[in-house]
Amino acid sequence: MLEIRWHGRGGQGVVTAAEILATAVVNEGKYAQAFAAFGPERRGAPVLAFTRINDNEILLRTQIYEPDIVVVLDKSLCNDNGVGRGLKKNGIAVVNTSSSPEVLLNIFPNASKIATVDATRIAIEKLGVPVTNTAILGALIRATRIVKIETIENVLKEKFKGVLAEKNFNAVKEAYERTLIFDRGGLL
Amino acid sequence: MKRVALSGNYAVAYAVKMADVDVIAAYPITPQTPIVEKLSEFVADGLLDAEYINVESEHSALSACIGSSLTGARTFTATSSQGLAYMHEVLFMASSLRTSIVMANVNRALSHPLNIWNDHSDAMAERDVGWIQFWVNSVQEAFDATIQAFKIAEEVLLPVMINLDGFILSHINEVLILPDEELVREFIPSKPLFNRLSPKLAYTIGVVGPPEYYYEMRYQIIDAIERSRKNINEVNREFGELFGRTYGNISTYMMEDADYALITMGAVSSTAKIVVDSLRKEGEKVGLISIRCFRPFPKNDIIEVFEDVKSIGVLDRALTPGGIGHPLFTEIVTTLYDSSKIIPVQSFVGGLGGRDITIDDFKQMYKIIKDVGLSGRRKPCIYIGLRE
Amino acid sequence: MKSWKELPIGAMIIEPGNSIEYNVAQWRVFRPVLDKNKCTKCGLCWIFCPEGAIVRNEDESYEVNLSFCKGCGICQRSCNVKAITMIKEEGL
Range of the domain at A160: 2-183
Note whether B175 contacts A36, CB cutoff 8 Å.
Answer: no
CB pairs under 8 A between A and B: 64
Q: What is the CATH number of the domain that holds C65?
A: 3.30.70.20
Residue C30 main-chain phi, psi, to 5 deg? -115, 145
What per-residue confidence (pLDDT) applies to A39? 73
Whether the predicted pLDDT of C92 surpasses 70 = no
> What pLDDT is recorded for position A186?
53
Count of domains in chain A?
1
What pLDDT does B210 receive? 95
Q: Does C28 map to a domain?
A: yes
Partner residues linked to B6 by β-bridges? B174
C17 contacts on B by Cβ (under 8 Å): 202
Residues of B in contact with C12 (CB under 8 A): 196, 203-205, 207
Which chain B residue shows the shortest CA-CA distance from C10? B97
pLDDT interval class at B205 (50, 70, 90): very high
Number of domains in chain C: 1
Taking only the tens place, the pLDDT of each residue in B82-96 is 999 999 999 999 999
pLDDT, average across residues B134-151: 98
Average pLDDT (B96-111) is 97
Q: Which of C1, C9, C15, C18 to mutate to test the interface with B (most CBs of B within 10 A)?
A: C9
Q: Report if residue A188 sits inside a domain.
A: no
The bridge status of strand A69-72 relative to strand A2-9 is parallel
For residues B105-120, average pLDDT = 97
Mean pLDDT value across chain B = 96
Establish if C17 belongs to a structural domain: no
State the Cα torsion C26-C30-C34-C40 to the nearest 10°: -110
In a domain? residue C60 = yes
- Structural domains in chain B, CATH included, are 2-243 (3.40.50.970), 250-383 (3.40.50.920)
C-alpha span between A131 and A47 (Å, rounded): 14
Is C42 inside a domain boundary? yes
Q: CB distance from B116 to chain A under 8 Å? A: yes
C12–B contact, CB cutoff 8 A: yes
Q: What angle, 0 to 180 degrees and rounded to 10, lies between the N-to-C axes of helices B8-18 and B33-44?
A: 40
Q: How are the residues of chain C apportioned to helix, strand and coil, as percentages rounded to the nearest 5?
A: 20, 20, 60
Q: Which of B204, B212, B216 sits opposite C13 (nearest CB)?
A: B204
* Residue B252 forms contact with A (CB below 8 Å): no
ipTM of the prediction? 0.90
pLDDT value for A25: 98
Q: Tell whether the model's pLDDT for residue A188 goes beyond 50.
A: no
Helix, strand or coil for residue B363? helix
Within-domain flag for C3: no
Query: Region A73-89: what's the mean pLDDT?
Result: 89
Contact C10 B98 (CB under 8 A): yes
pLDDT for C18: 87
Q: Give per-residue pLDDT as tens, C34-82.
A: 999 999 999 999 999 999 999 999 999 999 999 999 999 999 999 999 9
Answer yes or no: is C16 within a domain: no
| Residue A112 domain-assigned (yes or no) | yes
* pLDDT > 80? residue B192: no
On average, the pLDDT of chain A sits at 93
pLDDT value of residue B223: 98
CA-nearest of B284, B302, B269, B299 to B373 is B284
Q: What is the CATH number of the domain that holds A52?
A: 3.40.920.10
* pLDDT for residue B307 is more than 90: no
Mean pLDDT of all residues in B262-275: 97
Q: Map residue B99 onto helix, strand or coil.
A: coil
The residue range of the domain holding C38 is 23-88
